[in-house]
Structure 1
Amino acid sequence: MLGQVMPSAHAQSNFAYYGLEPDIVTNFLGPNAVKLGFVRATVELMLEDADYIEAIEHHSPLLRATIIEIIGRQPKDKVKSLTGREDIRRVTLETLRTLMEKETGKPMIKDILITKFIVQGGQ
C-alpha cells in the first residue's frame, strides 16, 4: 500500500484520510529564474467516503503528479507566505476534485490537509 488510511472518528460520517507517501518533493524557480528552491510537503486527502480509498489508491500517481505540477509552477513569494500556501492548497483541492470527477464521475476528495510544508532555497 502506498499511503496510510485512517478512518474518521465521526460515527455519523464515513470520512477517511489517505496519506500520499512518500512526501511530495518538488522544486520552484526563484525570482531571477536561475536559482531553484525546493518544497517538501506531507499531504493527506480527506475522502468523502471510506469506500473511495481503492479508487484514490489507483489514481494516486496522477494525484501526486498533479500536486507536483501545481506547486512547481508557483512563484517564490507564494510558496514562502502563509496566505500563498493556503491559496495553493485551495487550488490543489479544486484541481484534484475536478480531476477525480473526470476520472471516476465523483469528486471523492472533501479536503486536503498539508501537515508539513518545508521550503528551502529560491533566493
Structure 2
Amino acid sequence: MLLVLSLAMLPSVSWAAETPSASDNYAYYGFEPEIVTNYISNRKKLGFVRISVELMVKSPEDLVVIEHHDPLLRAAIVEILGNQPEDRIKSLTGREEIRKECYEELNKLLQQETGKSLIVNMLFTRYLYD
C-alpha cells in the first residue's frame, strides 16, 4: 500500500524555523533525484520511504555552497531515515520529528564544513512510504 501525505493537509504544523522578513531574498535547493531508502519495518519485508526535500536558504549565493555539499547532506538524510522505526515513519508527528532532526543535522554539518548554518527551513514536498 502506497500512501501520499500532502503538505496541504498539515496547516497546523509550523514549517518555518525562522520568521521571514520582507527584505530577505530566500532561495530553495531541491535534492535531485528524490531520496529513496529503507527503514526499520515491523513486517517481514523491507519498508521504504521516498521523499522530495527542499532546503530554504537566506540568499541565492548560499545555493552554491549547498550544492557543493549535496552528497554529505543527502547521506545524512538517508542515515536518519534508515534508522527510523515504521511507526515513526508512518505517523504525522513522527514525520515532523524526522524533519526537525534532519534540519538540525544538516545545519550542524554545514556549520562544521563552512562555519555557518545556512538552512533557514527544510520542507518535505513529497513523502511516500510503503
> Per-residue displacement from partner, 1:34-65 (whole Å, max 9, x unpaired)?
43101000000001222111111100011001
- Amino acid corresponding to residue 53 of structure 1 in structure 2: L
Could you list the structure 1 runs, at least 4 aligned residues long, displaced by more than 2 angstroms after superposition: none
- Is residue 21 from structure 1 mapped to residue 32 from structure 2 by the alignment? yes
- Is residue 72 from structure 1 mapped to residue 82 from structure 2 by the alignment? yes
SS at match of 2:31: strand
- Is residue 36 from structure 1 mapped to residue 46 from structure 2 by the alignment? yes
User: Alignment length, in residue pairs?
Assistant: 110
Shift in Å, 1:12: 1.5
Q: Counterparts of 2:58 and 2:109 in 1: how far apart (Å)? A: 15
What's the TM-score once normalised by structure 2's chain length? Answer: 0.81
Is there any run of 5+ residues in structure 1 with no aligned partner, and where?
Answer: 1-9
What's the TM-score once normalised by structure 1's chain length? Answer: 0.85
Q: Is the 8 A contact 1:24 1:41 kept in 2?
A: yes
- Amino acid corresponding to residue 18 of structure 1 in structure 2: Y
Report the RMSD for the aligned CA atoms in angstroms: 1.3
Is there any run of 5+ residues in structure 2 with no aligned partner, and where?
Answer: 1-20
- Structure with greater strand percent: 1
SS at match of 1:31: coil
Shift in Å, 1:31: 2.4
